[in-house]
Amino acid sequence: MSALHILYDSRNYCVAEFAGVAGVELVDKHARRSAFLEGRVAAHLRANVARLCAEEPEEDEVDEFLFSYDALLTNSIRVQ
């Protein structure tokens, strides 16, 4: 099992990466949708989340940025 590293976690979104995997998982908690992003999209997301978090923004600012990825979140999450 790969180690999980949470890059960002709020009431609305979670961004995580797995050790040894070149991609990022983005989860919209309220819409219950997710996407595994790879390549340039993942690199862009990682860099911008790191930059935003370094600036110590309000949660809403980071969530607003992550909302721009919503069209990519095509995997439904089923909660039992």
- Domain spans of the chain, in order of start: 4-76
Q: Is the pLDDT of residue 56 over 60?
A: yes
From the list 32, 37, 33, the residue with the least C-alpha distance to 18 is 37
Give the residues across from 37 on adjacent strands.
24
Query: What mean pLDDT is predicted for residues 6-21?
Result: 91
Q: What is the pLDDT of residues 40-53, one digit of tens each?
A: 999 999 899 889 88
From the list 20, 15, 72, the residue with the least C-alpha distance to 45 is 15
User: Could you tell me the two tokens for 34?
Assistant: 């997710």
What 3-state class would DSSP assign to 32?
A: coil
pLDDT at residue 22, rounded to an integer = 84
Cα–Cα distances in angstroms (integers) from residue 63 to residues 21, 32, 52, 70, in the given order = 24, 15, 10, 11
Across all residues in the chain, what is the average pLDDT? 91
